[in-house]
Amino acid sequence: QPDDRGLIGDVPVLRVTRRGAEALHFVPAALEPGAEVLLSLDWERRFDHMQQHSGQHLISAIAEQMFGFKTTSWELGRQRSVIELDTPSVTAEQVEALEKSVNEKIRDRVPVTVRELAADDPEVETVRSRGLPDDHVGPVRVVDIKDIDSNLCCGTHVSNLSDLQVIKLLGVEKGKKNKTNLVFLAGNRVLKSIEQSHNTEKALTSLLKNGPGEHVEAVKRLQSSVKLLQKNNLNLLRDIAVLIARDFKSKPAPKQLFVLHRKEGDSEFMNIIANEIGTEETLLFLTVGDEKEAGLFLLAGPVEAVENLGPSVAELLGGKGAGKRGRFQGKAAKMSRRGEVQALLQEFISHQSPGA
C-alpha cells in the first residue's frame, strides 16, 4: 500500500517508509527536535487507500471461496488496482458472479476489525498471509472481515464494508507465469470513473452529433471515411510526383541540380520523383514536411556524390539518415536550413563541372 502524505506543522511530508519498527518521514526542511507540532493527514489519499485495500481483501477472499482462486500478489495503482490470481484464466461469467457477491457483502454492512497478536501466537499460523518481512519486530496485525476473511496486514482499512460503497471489476488481463490479473476499482474511484466516462460521452455526443448508443458506429464510419481520403490523397500525391518529374525532364536543358520542397508528402512521394527523373546525372534534394520545423529529406544522384554529401546534408538539417546505391534519406529536425543545403550542393556541382 502506498504511504500517507500530509504536514508536520507547515512542513509537507514527501514520503514515509519503514525501517524495522521506525517510521521514517522525509521532509524538505529541518524540524526542531522536541518541538510540539500539529500533524495533518491527507485524508482523501488515506481514505482512497483504505477503500482499495479493504476492497482487495474482500475480492481475494470471495474469489478463493467461490472458485478456489488464490491471490499471489496485488498492486494498488494510482488509477486502478490489480489482483494477481493463481489461475490461467477467469471467465466473464466468473467475473460477473464475483462482482455480484462482493457488492452483496458491502450492502450487508459487514464489520471490519483490526487486532494484534504476538508474533509467536499459534493463531498467526491459521491466518491467511504471504509471510512477514525479515526485519519485522513487535506484534502482528490481523484484519478480520467478519465471517469472511482473516488476514495478516499492516495496511489501513475501513471499519465496515459499507464504507467501500461499491466495487467494480473492470475485467481480467493475462498475467505472468500462467496467472491472471483482475482489475478493479473501489469506492470513490468508481464515482470518479463514471464522471470521467460521462464527460467523455457528452463530448463525443457534441462532436458526433448523435446519442451515446450510436457513438461506436459513428466512429467506425469516420474511420472508413478517413481511410478512403488517405487512399485518395496518396494516389493524388503519386500522380503529382510523376507530373513534377515529367515536367523537369521535358525541359530542353535539364539542370544538374533539382530541389523541391512540399509540405504534404512522404518518403514514397520523394522516391517516385527520384525514380521518374533518374539519378545518373542529376542530383536531387527533396524534402517534405513543415517548412520551419521537422520533416523528411532525400538526397539522390550519382553514387559517389551522394556518399560524399549525404552525412553533411543530414548534419545541416539537424537530423539523421542512411543510404545506399545513390539514395540517402532520413529525418530532418531543422527544415529551415534547406537553403544552406542547396548552397552546399550547388557549390559541389560547380566544382565538378568542366572548366570550373
Residue-level pLDDT at 254: 67
Q: What percent of the chain has pLDDT over 70?
A: 99
The 10 Å CB-count burial string (b at 16+, else e) for 142-174 is: bbbbeebbbbbbebbbbebbebbbbbbbeebee
Find the mean pLDDT for residues 303-328.
91
pLDDT tens digits for 226-250? 999 989 988 998 899 999 988 888 8
Asked if 256 and 311 sit in the same domain, the reply is yes
Number of domains in the chain: 3
- In 28-139, the DSSP E strands lie at 39-41, 71-76, 81-85, 112-117
Q: pLDDT class for 225, splitting at 50, 70, 90?
A: very high
Distance (Å, whole) CA 39 – CA 201: 41
Find the mean pLDDT for residues 213-235.
93
Asked if 61 and 195 sit in the same domain, the reply is yes
Asked if 167 and 306 sit in the same domain, the reply is no
Q: Could you tell me the residue range of the domain that residue 86 belongs to?
A: 43-131+138-205
Find the mean pLDDT for residues 244-264.
86
Asked if 66 and 190 sit in the same domain, the reply is yes
Asked if 306 and 338 sit in the same domain, the reply is yes
Lowest-pLDDT range of 34-43, 215-224, 235-244: 235-244
CATH label of the domain that carries residue 345: 3.10.310.40
Residue-level pLDDT at 184: 98
Distance (Å, whole) CA 192 – CA 105: 22
Residue-level pLDDT at 286: 95
CATH label of the domain that carries residue 66: 3.30.980.10
Query: Which H or E run contains 219?
Result: helix 215-249
pLDDT tens digits for 89-138? 999 999 999 999 999 999 999 999 999 998 888 888 888 777 777 777 78
Asked if 50 and 193 sit in the same domain, the reply is yes
Asked if 331 and 257 sit in the same domain, the reply is yes
Asked if 56 and 167 sit in the same domain, the reply is yes
Closest CA to 80 of 174, 170, 210, 204: 170
In a domain, 217, yes or no: no
Q: pLDDT class for 354, splitting at 50, 70, 90?
A: low
Find the mean pLDDT for residues 207-228.
94
Residue-level pLDDT at 325: 86
Could you say which of 161, 189, 205 is where a domain stops? 205
In a domain, 213, yes or no: no
Find the mean pLDDT for residues 330-348.
92
In a domain, 215, yes or no: no
Asked if 194 and 245 sit in the same domain, the reply is no
In a domain, 178, yes or no: yes
In a domain, 221, yes or no: no
Asked if 55 and 168 sit in the same domain, the reply is yes
Asked if 304 and 196 sit in the same domain, the reply is no
Residue-level pLDDT at 352: 72
Asked if 200 and 57 sit in the same domain, the reply is yes
Find the mean pLDDT for residues 49-73.
97
In a domain, 226, yes or no: no
Find the mean pLDDT for residues 323-346.
91
In a domain, 96, yes or no: yes
End-to-end CA, the chain: 76
Look at residue 209 and give its three-state secondary structure.
Answer: coil
Closest CA to 99 of 66, 144, 146: 66
In a domain, 230, yes or no: no
Using CA atoms, how far residue 258 sits from 44, 272, 274, 349, in Å, is 65, 14, 10, 11
